[in-house]
Amino acid sequence: MGRFLEDYISYLKIERAMSPSTVASYSSDVRDFLAWIDSAGVRVGDVRTDHIVQYFGTLEGLSKRSQARFLSSLRSFCKWTVLEGYVKDNPCDAVDTPKIGRHLPAVLSEDEVSAIIDSVDTGSWNGLRDRAILEVLYGCGLRVSEVVGLKISNVYFKEGFVRIVGKGNKERLVPIGGMALEAVSDYLAVRPEPSDTASEDILFLNRDGRALSRVSVFTMVKRQAMLAGVHKEISPHTFRHSFATHLVNHGADLRVVQDMLGHESILTTEIYTHIDTESWMRDVINHHPRR
């Protein structure tokens, strides 16, 4: 079974160009499934729909969202077994995806965004760095992985945009506003010396002169939210959601927002119209004389 998993992981990394976190999630789910069919004496080439159903029966206590994720992982694996000729038909095709409600992410108000950014003490080089990170997270709607991997050579100050390499190694150009550019410029003036060749072009460095980790950015965002008195459960991704929501609220075209976020499908971007709708519905109910 180990060979199947190794070959599948190579397929995810090379042919599908999936992110390391997605590869880890898919491979973990598939590893558990392979262990289960091995204990049941079933070979990969003999997996049928009823085996998939039986396996899901063993996953007690999982939310519908987790079940949907497991099924997505198994669909991908079984699709690979079809491509490789191990099975003729994908046994997951006949399994219905659990119905889950659309998840509406937490969103900051414009005042809360400003409060968090203004809470940063810019009296030190790392303070200037943190403010620049927050300005870029919100100003460009980037994923945290895109921020920590952002290169100086991909920031075009004169033209006012950044080149981003997103999921699946897909490139996109994102406009960057004056406030974010000013914050980046202020940080670059005090940016520490990179510790190695690999870090020379990385924009945001840690105190050791290397690229920041995603965990460091998560920690910084939560700390600044606390200092700003914002008590919502937030993460760096909250700035991305807030960026998109505020654009839609101010009348931005959904296709433009889709391109800026790097969404493959417009359906993914449409969630921000639902957030806006939920907001004005709540406002109407709160102010209705017959509420």
Q: Which helix (H) or strand (E) holds 122?
A: none
120 or 241, greater pLDDT: 120
First to last CA, the chain: 60
d(CA 213, CA 115): 24
pLDDT tens digits for range 265-289: 545 444 555 544 445 444 434 544 5
pLDDT tens digits for range 241-273: 888 888 777 776 667 666 666 655 545 444 555
Residue 140 in this model has a pLDDT that exceeds 70: yes
194 or 168, greater pLDDT: 194
Which residue intervals of the chain bear CATH 1.10.150? Answer: 2-83
Q: Which residues are known catalytic residues?
A: 143, 167, 237, 240, 263, 272
Q: What is the mean pLDDT of residues 174-178?
A: 87
Q: Band of the pLDDT at 1, cuts 50, 70, 90?
A: low
d(CA 64, CA 77): 20
Q: Band of the pLDDT at 4, cuts 50, 70, 90?
A: confident
**What percent of the chain stands above pLDDT 70?**
81
Give the chain's mean pLDDT: 82
Q: Which residue has the tokens 């840690």?
A: 206
Q: Just give the CATH number of 110-286.
A: 1.10.443.10
pLDDT at residue number 216: 93
pLDDT at residue number 145: 87
- Which of helix, strand or coil describes residue 237? helix
Structurally, at CATH architecture level, domain 2-83 sits in Orthogonal Bundle (1.10)
Looking at the DSSP bridge assignments, the partners of residue 165 are 171
Which residue intervals of the chain bear CATH 1.10.443.10? Answer: 110-286
